[in-house]
Chains A and B, each alone.
Chain A
Amino acid sequence: MTDTVQGVAPTPTVGQSSDRPKIQIVPLKGLPFAAAAVVFVVVAIAGNWQWALMFAHVAGGGLWTGIDLFVGLVLGPILGHLSIPARAEFSAKFMPKMVLIMPTVVMMTLASGFQVARKLGNLYATSPNHSWLIASFCVVGVMAVIALGILEPANIAVLFEMNKPVPNGELIGRLMKRFIYTAGITGLMQVATLIIMTRVATQ
Protein backbone atom coordinates (compact mmCIF):
# COMPACT_ATOMS: atom_id res chain seq x y z
CA MET A 1 0.00 0.00 0.00
CA THR A 2 1.24 3.48 -0.78
CA ASP A 3 -0.14 6.85 0.20
CA THR A 4 0.57 9.82 -1.96
CA VAL A 5 1.14 13.54 -1.57
CA GLN A 6 -0.69 15.27 -4.38
CA GLY A 7 1.17 17.58 -6.69
CA VAL A 8 4.65 16.50 -5.65
CA ALA A 9 7.26 15.27 -8.07
CA PRO A 10 9.30 12.25 -6.99
CA THR A 11 12.76 13.81 -6.83
CA PRO A 12 15.80 12.40 -5.04
CA THR A 13 15.50 15.21 -2.49
CA VAL A 14 12.58 13.65 -0.69
CA GLY A 15 11.93 9.97 -0.84
CA GLN A 16 15.27 8.51 -1.87
CA SER A 17 18.44 8.15 0.11
CA SER A 18 20.77 7.68 -2.86
CA ASP A 19 23.14 10.66 -2.95
CA ARG A 20 21.78 13.11 -0.40
CA PRO A 21 24.54 14.45 1.85
CA LYS A 22 23.84 14.37 5.60
CA ILE A 23 22.57 17.71 6.89
CA GLN A 24 24.58 19.28 9.69
CA ILE A 25 21.77 20.48 11.95
CA VAL A 26 23.92 23.01 13.81
CA PRO A 27 26.61 24.46 11.49
CA LEU A 28 29.76 24.03 13.57
CA LYS A 29 31.66 26.65 11.56
CA GLY A 30 29.23 29.27 12.84
CA LEU A 31 29.67 28.43 16.52
CA PRO A 32 32.77 30.64 17.06
CA PHE A 33 30.80 33.65 15.72
CA ALA A 34 27.88 32.90 18.07
CA ALA A 35 30.32 32.48 20.98
CA ALA A 36 32.03 35.77 20.07
CA ALA A 37 28.65 37.54 20.12
CA VAL A 38 27.87 36.08 23.58
CA VAL A 39 31.28 37.14 24.93
CA PHE A 40 30.86 40.63 23.43
CA VAL A 41 27.50 41.13 25.13
CA VAL A 42 28.74 39.73 28.47
CA VAL A 43 31.74 42.10 28.38
CA ALA A 44 29.46 45.02 27.46
CA ILE A 45 27.11 44.29 30.36
CA ALA A 46 29.91 43.60 32.85
CA GLY A 47 31.75 46.78 31.90
CA ASN A 48 28.59 48.90 31.56
CA TRP A 49 30.04 49.83 28.17
CA GLN A 50 27.42 52.09 26.66
CA TRP A 51 28.56 52.08 23.03
CA ALA A 52 28.91 48.29 22.98
CA LEU A 53 25.47 47.84 24.56
CA MET A 54 23.90 50.18 22.02
CA PHE A 55 25.79 48.47 19.17
CA ALA A 56 24.65 45.01 20.27
CA HIS A 57 21.06 46.21 20.63
CA VAL A 58 20.88 48.09 17.32
CA ALA A 59 22.82 45.49 15.30
CA GLY A 60 21.05 42.52 16.86
CA GLY A 61 17.62 44.17 16.71
CA GLY A 62 18.09 45.29 13.11
CA LEU A 63 19.08 41.79 12.05
CA TRP A 64 16.30 40.15 14.07
CA THR A 65 13.58 42.44 12.72
CA GLY A 66 14.92 42.38 9.17
CA ILE A 67 15.27 38.60 9.05
CA ASP A 68 11.82 38.03 10.60
CA LEU A 69 10.15 40.46 8.20
CA PHE A 70 11.94 39.02 5.16
CA VAL A 71 11.38 35.39 6.10
CA GLY A 72 7.81 35.89 7.30
CA LEU A 73 6.49 38.18 4.60
CA VAL A 74 8.70 37.45 1.57
CA LEU A 75 10.26 33.98 1.81
CA GLY A 76 7.34 32.34 3.65
CA PRO A 77 4.71 32.99 0.98
CA ILE A 78 7.18 31.93 -1.74
CA LEU A 79 7.93 28.68 0.14
CA GLY A 80 4.21 28.08 0.54
CA HIS A 81 3.85 27.90 -3.23
CA LEU A 82 6.78 25.55 -3.83
CA SER A 83 6.52 21.79 -4.14
CA ILE A 84 7.44 19.80 -1.05
CA PRO A 85 10.74 18.55 -2.56
CA ALA A 86 11.68 22.13 -3.43
CA ARG A 87 10.79 23.30 0.10
CA ALA A 88 12.80 20.44 1.54
CA GLU A 89 15.85 21.26 -0.55
CA PHE A 90 15.67 24.94 0.39
CA SER A 91 15.14 24.09 4.06
CA ALA A 92 18.14 21.76 4.14
CA LYS A 93 20.38 24.73 3.35
CA PHE A 94 18.43 27.48 5.10
CA MET A 95 17.25 26.08 8.42
CA PRO A 96 20.62 25.04 9.91
CA LYS A 97 21.77 28.63 9.49
CA MET A 98 18.62 29.93 11.17
CA VAL A 99 19.14 27.50 14.08
CA LEU A 100 22.34 29.38 14.89
CA ILE A 101 21.65 32.93 13.72
CA MET A 102 18.26 33.57 15.34
CA PRO A 103 19.00 32.63 18.97
CA THR A 104 22.25 34.61 18.74
CA VAL A 105 20.70 37.84 17.44
CA VAL A 106 17.73 37.52 19.83
CA MET A 107 20.07 37.06 22.80
CA MET A 108 22.21 40.06 21.69
CA THR A 109 19.16 42.27 21.27
CA LEU A 110 17.31 41.42 24.48
CA ALA A 111 20.26 41.27 26.89
CA SER A 112 21.74 44.55 25.66
CA GLY A 113 18.32 46.22 25.21
CA PHE A 114 17.37 45.71 28.84
CA GLN A 115 20.65 47.29 29.96
CA VAL A 116 20.23 50.21 27.56
CA ALA A 117 16.71 50.82 28.86
CA ARG A 118 17.96 50.71 32.44
CA LYS A 119 20.83 53.10 31.75
CA LEU A 120 18.61 55.57 29.89
CA GLY A 121 16.04 55.50 32.70
CA ASN A 122 13.29 54.15 30.44
CA LEU A 123 12.46 51.37 32.92
CA TYR A 124 11.29 53.82 35.58
CA ALA A 125 7.51 54.05 35.91
CA THR A 126 7.79 57.83 35.60
CA SER A 127 9.48 57.63 32.20
CA PRO A 128 7.27 58.51 29.20
CA ASN A 129 8.72 55.43 27.51
CA HIS A 130 7.78 53.00 30.29
CA SER A 131 4.44 51.93 28.81
CA TRP A 132 6.02 51.51 25.36
CA LEU A 133 8.70 49.29 26.89
CA ILE A 134 6.06 47.13 28.56
CA ALA A 135 4.30 46.85 25.20
CA SER A 136 7.62 45.80 23.66
CA PHE A 137 8.13 43.15 26.39
CA CYS A 138 4.68 41.76 25.57
CA VAL A 139 5.38 41.65 21.81
CA VAL A 140 8.71 39.92 22.45
CA GLY A 141 7.00 37.51 24.85
CA VAL A 142 4.44 36.46 22.24
CA MET A 143 7.16 36.12 19.59
CA ALA A 144 9.28 34.04 22.01
CA VAL A 145 6.45 31.59 22.71
CA ILE A 146 5.72 31.22 18.98
CA ALA A 147 9.39 30.93 17.99
CA LEU A 148 10.54 28.65 20.81
CA GLY A 149 7.36 26.62 21.23
CA ILE A 150 6.32 26.08 17.61
CA LEU A 151 8.73 27.39 14.98
CA GLU A 152 12.09 26.11 16.25
CA PRO A 153 10.87 22.60 17.21
CA ALA A 154 9.34 22.31 13.72
CA ASN A 155 12.62 23.42 12.10
CA ILE A 156 14.68 20.86 14.01
CA ALA A 157 12.14 18.09 13.33
CA VAL A 158 12.26 18.87 9.58
CA LEU A 159 16.06 18.65 9.60
CA PHE A 160 15.99 15.31 11.45
CA GLU A 161 13.37 14.00 9.03
CA MET A 162 15.50 15.00 6.07
CA ASN A 163 18.46 13.11 7.51
CA LYS A 164 16.50 9.84 7.47
CA PRO A 165 17.30 7.35 4.70
CA VAL A 166 13.78 7.81 3.32
CA PRO A 167 12.33 11.19 4.43
CA ASN A 168 8.58 11.48 4.67
CA GLY A 169 7.38 14.18 2.28
CA GLU A 170 4.00 14.53 3.95
CA LEU A 171 5.54 15.08 7.38
CA ILE A 172 8.01 17.65 6.02
CA GLY A 173 5.12 19.42 4.28
CA ARG A 174 3.09 19.57 7.50
CA LEU A 175 6.00 20.83 9.58
CA MET A 176 6.93 23.39 6.92
CA LYS A 177 3.37 24.72 7.02
CA ARG A 178 3.88 25.44 10.72
CA PHE A 179 7.10 27.25 9.83
CA ILE A 180 5.42 29.32 7.11
CA TYR A 181 2.46 30.41 9.27
CA THR A 182 4.45 31.14 12.43
CA ALA A 183 7.14 33.01 10.46
CA GLY A 184 4.33 35.13 8.98
CA ILE A 185 2.96 35.92 12.45
CA THR A 186 6.36 36.86 13.88
CA GLY A 187 7.01 38.96 10.76
CA LEU A 188 3.82 40.92 11.42
CA MET A 189 4.70 41.30 15.10
CA GLN A 190 8.01 42.82 14.09
CA VAL A 191 6.04 45.67 12.51
CA ALA A 192 4.72 46.36 16.03
CA THR A 193 8.32 46.27 17.32
CA LEU A 194 9.35 48.85 14.71
CA ILE A 195 6.50 51.17 15.74
CA ILE A 196 7.29 50.77 19.46
CA MET A 197 11.06 51.27 19.08
CA THR A 198 10.70 54.35 16.89
CA ARG A 199 8.23 55.79 19.44
CA VAL A 200 10.71 55.10 22.27
CA ALA A 201 13.52 56.78 20.33
CA THR A 202 11.49 59.92 19.60
CA GLN A 203 9.61 60.58 22.87
Chain B
Amino acid sequence: MSVAQRPSMRSSIDRPRPPVAWLSTGALALVIIGGILMASYAPRKAPLGVATGLLVAAVLLLASAGVLLVGIKDFSRTTFLKVFKWSALAYLVTAAMIEFAFVRDHTRGASLFIVTCMLVIFALSVPTTIAFTTARFADD
Protein backbone atom coordinates (compact mmCIF):
# COMPACT_ATOMS: atom_id res chain seq x y z
CA MET B 1 0.00 0.00 0.00
CA SER B 2 1.25 3.47 -0.61
CA VAL B 3 0.67 7.18 -0.28
CA ALA B 4 1.24 8.80 -3.63
CA GLN B 5 3.52 11.80 -3.77
CA ARG B 6 3.89 14.49 -6.37
CA PRO B 7 7.40 14.98 -7.78
CA SER B 8 7.40 18.57 -6.45
CA MET B 9 6.84 17.25 -2.92
CA ARG B 10 9.79 14.95 -3.12
CA SER B 11 11.98 17.84 -4.21
CA SER B 12 10.78 20.07 -1.35
CA ILE B 13 12.08 17.44 1.13
CA ASP B 14 15.39 16.74 -0.52
CA ARG B 15 16.21 20.24 -1.77
CA PRO B 16 19.54 21.19 -0.16
CA ARG B 17 19.32 24.12 2.22
CA PRO B 18 22.03 26.04 4.09
CA PRO B 19 22.43 25.04 7.76
CA VAL B 20 20.33 27.92 9.12
CA ALA B 21 18.60 25.82 11.77
CA TRP B 22 21.88 24.29 12.94
CA LEU B 23 23.48 27.73 13.26
CA SER B 24 20.56 29.22 15.17
CA THR B 25 20.39 26.13 17.41
CA GLY B 26 24.14 26.50 17.98
CA ALA B 27 23.56 30.11 19.05
CA LEU B 28 20.84 28.90 21.41
CA ALA B 29 23.17 26.26 22.89
CA LEU B 30 25.88 28.87 23.51
CA VAL B 31 23.58 31.28 25.31
CA ILE B 32 22.17 28.42 27.38
CA ILE B 33 25.72 27.48 28.43
CA GLY B 34 26.34 31.17 29.22
CA GLY B 35 23.09 31.31 31.20
CA ILE B 36 24.06 28.22 33.20
CA LEU B 37 27.43 29.82 33.94
CA MET B 38 25.82 33.07 35.12
CA ALA B 39 23.17 31.23 37.16
CA SER B 40 25.69 28.89 38.78
CA TYR B 41 27.49 31.89 40.29
CA ALA B 42 24.32 33.59 41.54
CA PRO B 43 24.04 35.48 43.86
CA ARG B 44 27.80 36.12 43.43
CA LYS B 45 29.15 37.91 40.37
CA ALA B 46 29.97 35.49 37.54
CA PRO B 47 33.28 35.80 35.62
CA LEU B 48 32.13 37.90 32.68
CA GLY B 49 34.97 37.04 30.29
CA VAL B 50 33.74 33.53 29.47
CA ALA B 51 30.12 34.67 29.34
CA THR B 52 31.04 37.51 26.97
CA GLY B 53 32.98 35.08 24.74
CA LEU B 54 29.97 32.75 24.57
CA LEU B 55 27.69 35.68 23.81
CA VAL B 56 29.91 36.97 20.98
CA ALA B 57 30.12 33.46 19.47
CA ALA B 58 26.33 33.15 19.69
CA VAL B 59 25.86 36.53 17.98
CA LEU B 60 28.19 35.43 15.17
CA LEU B 61 26.33 32.15 14.68
CA LEU B 62 22.94 33.84 14.61
CA ALA B 63 24.21 36.56 12.25
CA SER B 64 25.59 33.85 9.94
CA ALA B 65 22.20 32.15 9.99
CA GLY B 66 20.58 35.48 9.07
CA VAL B 67 22.99 36.07 6.18
CA LEU B 68 22.43 32.55 4.82
CA LEU B 69 18.69 32.99 5.20
CA VAL B 70 18.63 36.20 3.17
CA GLY B 71 20.59 34.49 0.40
CA ILE B 72 18.26 31.51 -0.06
CA LYS B 73 16.37 31.51 -3.33
CA ASP B 74 13.13 29.62 -3.88
CA PHE B 75 12.13 29.83 -0.21
CA SER B 76 8.75 30.69 1.32
CA ARG B 77 9.50 33.98 3.07
CA THR B 78 5.77 34.47 3.72
CA THR B 79 5.62 31.29 5.81
CA PHE B 80 8.94 32.12 7.48
CA LEU B 81 7.77 35.58 8.55
CA LYS B 82 4.37 34.35 9.68
CA VAL B 83 5.85 31.63 11.93
CA PHE B 84 8.74 33.83 13.07
CA LYS B 85 6.42 36.66 14.12
CA TRP B 86 4.21 34.54 16.37
CA SER B 87 6.94 32.40 17.86
CA ALA B 88 9.05 35.51 18.53
CA LEU B 89 6.12 36.93 20.47
CA ALA B 90 5.90 33.76 22.59
CA TYR B 91 9.64 33.62 23.27
CA LEU B 92 9.83 37.36 23.99
CA VAL B 93 7.33 36.77 26.81
CA THR B 94 9.51 33.94 28.16
CA ALA B 95 12.68 36.05 27.83
CA ALA B 96 11.00 39.00 29.55
CA MET B 97 10.02 36.72 32.41
CA ILE B 98 13.60 35.50 32.87
CA GLU B 99 14.88 39.10 32.67
CA PHE B 100 12.35 40.10 35.31
CA ALA B 101 13.60 37.32 37.62
CA PHE B 102 17.22 38.47 37.21
CA VAL B 103 16.31 42.13 37.85
CA ARG B 104 14.25 41.09 40.89
CA ASP B 105 17.31 39.21 42.18
CA HIS B 106 19.33 42.45 42.04
CA THR B 107 21.45 41.58 38.99
CA ARG B 108 22.89 44.90 37.82
CA GLY B 109 25.50 46.51 35.57
CA ALA B 110 27.60 44.44 33.15
CA SER B 111 26.09 41.14 34.35
CA LEU B 112 22.58 42.37 33.60
CA PHE B 113 23.69 43.66 30.20
CA ILE B 114 25.16 40.28 29.25
CA VAL B 115 22.08 38.41 30.51
CA THR B 116 19.84 40.77 28.52
CA CYS B 117 21.87 40.24 25.33
CA MET B 118 21.74 36.47 25.87
CA LEU B 119 17.98 36.64 26.28
CA VAL B 120 17.70 38.63 23.03
CA ILE B 121 19.67 35.87 21.25
CA PHE B 122 17.40 33.28 22.89
CA ALA B 123 14.26 35.14 21.79
CA LEU B 124 15.55 35.36 18.20
CA SER B 125 17.24 31.98 17.74
CA VAL B 126 14.32 29.74 18.73
CA PRO B 127 11.84 31.50 16.36
CA THR B 128 14.47 31.40 13.59
CA THR B 129 14.86 27.62 13.96
CA ILE B 130 11.10 27.01 14.13
CA ALA B 131 10.29 29.34 11.22
CA PHE B 132 13.08 28.01 9.00
CA THR B 133 12.18 24.35 9.67
CA THR B 134 8.56 25.12 8.77
CA ALA B 135 9.20 27.37 5.77
CA ARG B 136 11.76 25.09 4.11
CA PHE B 137 8.97 22.61 3.34
CA ALA B 138 6.34 25.22 2.40
CA ASP B 139 5.04 25.17 -1.16
CA ASP B 140 4.26 28.86 -1.74
Contact flags A1-40 to B (C-beta < 8 A → 1, else 0): 1111111111000110000000000100000000000100
Q: Which candidate, B36-44, B52-60, B111-119, is the interface stretch facing chain A?
A: B36-44
Are A85 and B3 in contact, CB atoms less than 8 angstroms apart? Answer: yes
| Chain A proximity of B13: nearest CB distance (Å) | 5
> Given that A38-B93, A160-B79 are contacting pairs, would A152 and B3 also be in contact in the complex, using a CB cutoff of 8 Å?
no
Q: Number of residues in B with C-beta < 8 Å to the partner? A: 47
Chain B residue numbers with a CB within 8 Å of A107 are 94, 97
Which A85-118 residues have C-beta < 8 A from chain B? 85, 103, 107, 110-111, 114-115, 118
The verdict on B138 contacting chain A, using a C-beta distance below 8 Å, is yes
Q: Which candidate, A60-68, A168-176, A183-191, A194-202, is the interface stretch facing chain B?
A: A168-176
Count of A-B residue pairs with CB < 8 Å = 135
The verdict on A42 contacting chain B, using a C-beta distance below 8 Å, is yes
The verdict on A49 contacting chain B, using a C-beta distance below 8 Å, is no
Are A148 and B28 in contact, CB atoms less than 8 angstroms apart? Answer: yes
Are B126 and A148 in contact, CB atoms less than 8 angstroms apart? Answer: yes
The verdict on A120 contacting chain B, using a C-beta distance below 8 Å, is no
Which B14-34 residues have C-beta < 8 A from chain A? 21, 24-25, 28-29, 32-33
List 16 A–B pairs whose Cβ atoms lie within 8 Å, in order of A's numbering. A1-B7, A3-B10, A4-B2, A9-B1, A10-B2, A10-B3, A114-B101, A115-B105, A123-B39, A137-B40, A145-B25, A149-B126, A150-B25, A156-B133, A166-B9, A168-B9
Known: A10-B3, A168-B137. 11 other contacts (CB 8 A): A5-B5, A6-B2, A8-B1, A8-B2, A85-B3, A107-B94, A111-B97, A137-B40, A153-B21, A153-B130, A169-B3
